Amino acid sequence: MTEEFEASESSASSFDIKKFLFRALSYWKLFVLLLAIGVFFVYQKNIREEFSYRLGTKISVEDDSNPLFTSNASLTFNWGGVTAKVQTTIVTLKSRSHHEKVVDRLEFYKTYLKAGRFRKQDIYKAAPFRFYQDNDFGQLIGIPIKITFLEQDAFELSAEFTGSTVSVQNFNTKEISRVDVPVGVFKETFKLGEPIVLPFFKGIVQLAENRKAAPGSEFFIQFNNFNSVVASYNARMGVNNLKSSPILDLTLIDKNTEKIVDYLNEVVAVLSEDQLSRKNQYVTNAIQFIDDQISRVKVEMTDNATELNDYRKENKIYQLDSDGTLLNEKLSKYEEEKESINKQLDYYALLKNYLLTSNSFTDVPAPSISGVADPNILSNVAKINELSVQKSKLQYSVKNDASIFSDLNRQIEGLKNVLLENISSVTSILRRDLESVYGNLHKVESEFSKLPEDQQKLLTIKRQYTLSEQTYNVFLAKRGEAEIIKASNVSDILIVDPAKNTGATVLGRNLNVRYVFAFFAALLLPLVIAFVLTFLDNNIHSPMDIEKLSTIPLLGVVGKNTLDNNLVVHRKPKSAVAESFRAIRSNLQYYYKTKDFNGSKTIMLTSSVSGEGKTFCSINMATVFALSGKKTILLGLDLRKPKIFGDFKIKNDLGVVNYLIGQSTLEEVVQNSGVENLDLIVSGPIPPNPSELLLSENMKTLISTLKKEYDYIVLDTPPVGLVADALELLDFVDASIYVVRQDYTKKGMLNFINEKYKSKQIKNLSLVYNGYDQKAKYGYGYGYGYGYGYGYGNYANGYHEDDKKQGLFKKVKHFFKSNKKA
């Protein structure tokens, strides 16, 4: 039977929006508490907030051509277009290697701190001292070192160690290692300018220029992991290309504006230097090649000059005759041509081997140095050099974008194939020219053999010296030209707007939004609780719920009992609860009249489960009948769990059970309740077979006998939802009252009694709503009369006893009203 109404609870449940809203409103104290906690938490967080700032700088990537590059220049360099430079610059600015250079130069891995109200603050240049560390020595990282200035240019250095080893980093090699330290607080005094040599700290502390440190002032130095610092700045710096123009907008976020300014300006400075270095790489390679050639030719020229002078002194021949001079000029001319062609052939051979065996083409010397004037060769070598430099740079910046390298490799491979074809074609032409030069040399040498031997020897030595001298002068001229080009080059990075703190953008300033979030968070929790409880709630909370769930008539509503026992009507006959029982009595009497019931009347009270107030209602219903002058008897038929004897302070030793089993007579089991016109029969000892006893002939005899002596017989029966005992008594009763208790009875529990009512198994059935609390947390007011319409407000003054003590506010209010009337 219990399973029947429990299984159908879900069918009776539905989400009540009104109940949800009233329940949520009932949690206003929780909302206020949560709001106060939230506001306090947000306030504490706001006053501890450390603002971040954002500053920016603008640069332009230009295509600055050297004005000294003219059509007559023997050295030609091609630097590429602006588009490629912008993309390369963006990638460079986002690269780890670039930020490593900046952090290293500024030593931003070292932080100067001062204790603030809530945290140590980065004071950067505001620190009155500087620490010059030994970069070849490992410095403590991750733990602040305290500097407390004392009198006479001395300071105390202290640090707290929680472990026996700490991490130190060498900021030259960037290697991290572990060193042993004493556990606890380390303290030692040093003088300004005195070398500090500790296992975890090495360097010199000196006052900054024009600065003084007040005695007792405390500061901190903290070294941080170099790689972590680099990664942090890299992540916080933004690079934006404004509308695909050569303008780049650089921004940085940090908590110290001076650091932002210095970092951004250093980023641009390093970028400009690197770009100029890459721009000069081609000419630098050329100068290196020229220097190597000058060194070689200088040795040859010195040796030739020495040999020439020695020969003249030994043979006393200082001048050539006219024929010898003419032949010398011809030989010098053809030797110069041969030397020029051989240099070009050597260069082409070197270039061909370089193209075939190397993957990088950043070290190719300028072709014009070797006398190569072919425009295709000059242009293609410059282009392949530029692409190779760009690829080399990207290899340190871009890790996962294979498409960029694929495109560069394709362009380099195409230029390499074109160069190899150019080399093959030009080499063939040069070899034919060389054969012609050799033919001319052979003719002049035939004529040369007719001169005297001493003249031939002198002419040969002098010719070698002249060739060396000419080659030396050519290389000197080209080196000077290359130096002029290098000195006149400027970086393609133009600073449009340098970083400057003219009003940094503050991030996260609108902290009041947090109060809004705190408000909604405080509101959300009560709403969620109310929603969950309403959704899961299956209890009956108001008489209106009964009207929705059942067609059984509601006989009356009983208020909440505040006494220590169930004798409300007897102990407080003027209370609202007593009045509600009188209203139920009136409704029953009206009901009996409409049904033409005369004589003794039997009333059964039951409920779904224990605890719904069935016994409470039985006692007080019997009491109101007795107080109206009707002879009434209360019969305790809850044989399994007897209760009524405790409220009347009598024993349960002798009762209905004793009569039903034939152990006692009716006179022996009937007891006086202490209430006029009210007798009582308690249940007696708990029997092993309560249902069988209630179905016995003795039960019929008992009811028949009592009807002859009493006007009203009130039966207190077991819950029908738990046992079937009450159903066995339906044949003996004129009216049945089913008790429902506020906030206790489940909605599904009514399904069972509804089914019995619809099938007419229970006749003359009514409901009583028990435990009604007008000020319940759900906020339902209930304005139904049901015959007891005195209410709980001011209109009931003088009719009902006040069950609750008067509050302090009401007492004060009453006091002022009394004084006012007086």
Q: What is the mean pLDDT of the chain?
A: 79
Predicted pLDDT of residue 11: 41
Regarding whether 625 and 570 lie in a shared domain, the answer is yes
Distance CA 200, CA 145 (A): 10
Tokens standing for residue 777? 């947390």
- What is the pLDDT averaged over residues 353-357? 77
- State whether 308 and 399 are in the same domain: yes
Phi and psi, residue 165, nearest 5°: -135, 150
More confident residue, 822 or 226: 226
Which residues are CB-contacts of 602 (< 8 A; sequence separation ≥ 6)?
A: 703, 707, 712, 713, 715, 732, 733, 734, 735
SS3 451: coil
Q: How far apart are CA 684 and CA 259, in angstroms?
A: 92
Query: C-alpha distances in angstroms, 178 versus 81, 165, 223, 445, 467?
Result: 50, 6, 15, 78, 65
CATH assignment of the domain containing 748: 3.40.50.300
Q: Is 670 helix (H, G, I), strand (E, B) or coil?
A: coil
Compute the distance between CA of residue 467 and CA of residue 475 in angstroms, rounded to an integer: 12
Q: Read off the pLDDT band of 580 (50, 70, 90).
A: very high
Looking at the chain, the whole-number percentage of residues with pLDDT higher than 70 is: 77
Q: How much is the pLDDT for 728?
A: 78
Neighbouring residues of 680: CB distance < 8 A, sequence distance ≥ 6: 633, 634, 636, 644, 648, 650, 670, 671, 672, 673
The answer for residues whose C-beta is within 8 angstroms of residue 281's C-beta and 6 or more apart is: 362, 385, 389
When pLDDT is averaged across residues 88-100 and rounded to a whole number, the result is 88
Query: Per-residue pLDDT averaged across 253-268, rounded?
Result: 90
- 432 and 573 assigned to the same domain: no
Which parts of 48-128 fold into alpha helices (H)?
82-93, 96-106
The pairing of beta strand 493-497 with beta strand 120-122 = unpaired
CA 760 to chain centre: 65
Query: Mean pLDDT, to the nearest integer, of 326-347?
Result: 74
Instruction: Give 424-445 pLDDT, tens digit per residue.
Output: 888 888 888 888 877 777 766 6
Averaged pLDDT for residues 572-580: 90
Q: What is the pLDDT of residues 509-546, one digit of tens each?
A: 667 788 898 999 999 999 998 888 888 888 888 888 88
Give the domain range for residue 9. Answer: 2-49+511-536
Q: What is the reported pLDDT for 748?
A: 85
- Sorted by sequence, the CB contacts under 8 Å of residue 363 that are 6+ apart come out as 285
pLDDT of 147 higher than 90 = yes
Decide which of 697 and 275 is more confident. 697
Kindly state whether residue 720 falls inside one of the protein's structural domains. yes
Q: What is the DSSP letter of 117?
A: S
Quick check: is 456 in a domain? yes
Q: What is the pLDDT of residue 79?
A: 41
733 close to 533: Cβ distance less than 8 angstroms: no
Examine the domain organization and report whether 526 and 557 are in the same domain: no
Minimum mean pLDDT range among 363-377, 595-609, 795-809: 795-809
- pLDDT tens digits, residue range 287-304? 777 778 778 777 777 776
Between 507 and 36, where is the model more confident? 36
Tokens at 628, concatenated: 């109206």
Residues 516 and 505 in one domain: no
Q: Give the pLDDT confidence score for residue 490 in this predicted structure.
A: 67
Residues 755 and 802 occupy one common structural domain: yes
The predicted model scores a pTM of 0.51
Report which of 402, 276, 409, 289 is spatially closest to residue 346, judged by C-alpha positions. 289
Whether the CB-CB separation of 563 and 570 falls below 8 Å is answered with: no
Same domain for 333 and 260: no
Same domain, 19 and 92: no
Residue range 153-162: mean pLDDT, rounded: 92
Looking at the domain assignment, is residue 777 inside a domain?
yes
Tell me, yes or no, whether 338 and 395 share the same domain: yes
Q: What is the pLDDT of residue 445?
A: 61
Please say whether the beta carbons of 174 and 227 come within 8 A: yes
559 DSSP β-pair partners: 772
Spatial distance between the Cα atoms of 622 and 634, rounded to a whole number of angstroms: 6
Residues 253 and 338 grouped into a single domain: no
Q: Please state, in angstroms and rounded to a whole number, the distance separating the CA atoms of residues 797 and 806.
A: 14
Query: Which pLDDT belongs to residue 440?
Result: 76
Are residues 563 and 689 both part of a single domain?
Answer: yes
Cβ 23 vs Cβ 534: under 8 Å: yes
Of 27-41, 449-463, 469-483, 729-743, the least confident:
449-463
Report residue 473's pLDDT band, with 50, 70 and 90 as the boundaries. confident
Rounded CA separation 505/816 (Å): 60
63 pLDDT higher than 70: no
Residue type, 114: K
Residue 148 lies in a domain: no
Instruction: Select the more confidently predicted residue: 27 or 47.
Output: 27
The number of folded domains in the chain is 4
Give the model confidence (pLDDT) of 390-412 as tens digits: 776 665 555 555 666 777 778 87
What residues have CB less than 8 Å from 138, skipping those under 6 apart? 168, 169, 170, 175, 176, 177, 179, 200
Binned at pLDDT 50, 70 and 90, residue 226 comes out as very high
Domain contains 14: yes
Q: Does residue 32 have a pLDDT over 70? A: yes
User: What is residue 692's predicted lDDT score, i.e. its pLDDT?
Assistant: 85
**What angle is formed at CA 675 by the lines to CA 673 and CA 677, rounded to 5 degrees?**
95
| Residue 357 CB burial class (10 angstroms; 0-12, 13-18, ≥19) | exposed
From 228-237, 301-310, 470-479, the region with the lowest mean pLDDT = 301-310
Q: Is the pLDDT of residue 21 over 90?
A: no
Q: What tokens were used for 567?
A: 């004798």
Closest among 74, 34, 25, 65 to 492, alpha carbons compared: 65
Task: Select the more confidently predicted residue: 121 or 375.
Answer: 121
Least confident of 487-501, 786-800, 807-821: 786-800
Lowest mean pLDDT among 109-123, 165-179, 449-463: 449-463
Crossing angle (nearest 10°) for helices 28-47 and 513-536: 150
**Cα separation, 229 vs 736, whole angstroms:** 84
Q: What is the pLDDT of residue 1?
A: 43
Would you say residue 100 has pLDDT above 60? yes
Q: How far apart are CA 576 and CA 568, in angstroms?
A: 10
pLDDT band at 494 (very low <50, low <70, confident <90, very high): confident
pLDDT of residue 770: 92
209 CB-side CA count, 13 A: 0
Give me the mean pLDDT over the 792-817 stretch.
48
Q: Are 78 and 25 members of one domain?
A: no
For 775-787, letters b (16+ CB in 10 Å) and e give ebebbbeeeeebb
Q: At what angle do helices 257-279 and 96-106 cross, to 10 degrees?
A: 120
Q: Is residue 806 part of a domain?
A: yes
- More confident call, 528 vs 364: 528
Q: Return the DSSP state at 91.
A: H
In a domain, 183, yes or no: no
- Residue 770 within any structural domain of the chain: yes
254-284: buried (b, 16+ CB within 10 Å) or exposed (e) per residue?
A: bebbebbbbbbbbbbbbbbebbbebbbbbbe
At residue 611, does pLDDT exceed 90?
A: no
Q: SS3 of 202, please?
A: strand
What pLDDT, on the 0 to 100 scale, is given for residue 821? 46
- 660 exposure class (CB count in 10 Å sphere: 0-12, 13-18, 19+): buried
More confident of the two residues 75 and 588: 588
Q: Tell me the CB-side half-sphere exposure of residue 177, using CA atoms within 13 A.
A: 12
C-alpha span between 736 and 715 (Å, rounded): 9
DSSP 764-812: SEEEEEEEE-TT-TT-------TT-TT-SSGGGTTTSB--SPPPHHHHH
The pLDDT score that the predictor gives to residue 78 is 43
Nearest to 390 by CA among 412, 370, 368, 373: 412
Quickly state the pLDDT bin for 360 (edges 50, 70, 90): low
Amino acid at 69: F
pLDDT digits (tens, 9 = 90+) for 368-386: 556 676 777 777 777 777 7
Let me know: does 560 contact 773? Beta carbons within 8 Å.
yes
SS3 672: strand
Q: What is the pLDDT of residue 462?
A: 66
Rounded-to-integer distance, Cα 745 and Cα 739, Å: 9
- With tokens 């407390």, the residue in question is 148
Rg of the chain over Cα atoms, rounded to whole angstroms, equals 55
CA distance 18 to 24: 10
Which H, E and C letters describe 473-508, residue by residue?
Answer: HHHHHHHHHHHHHHHHCCCCEEEEECCCCCCCEEEC
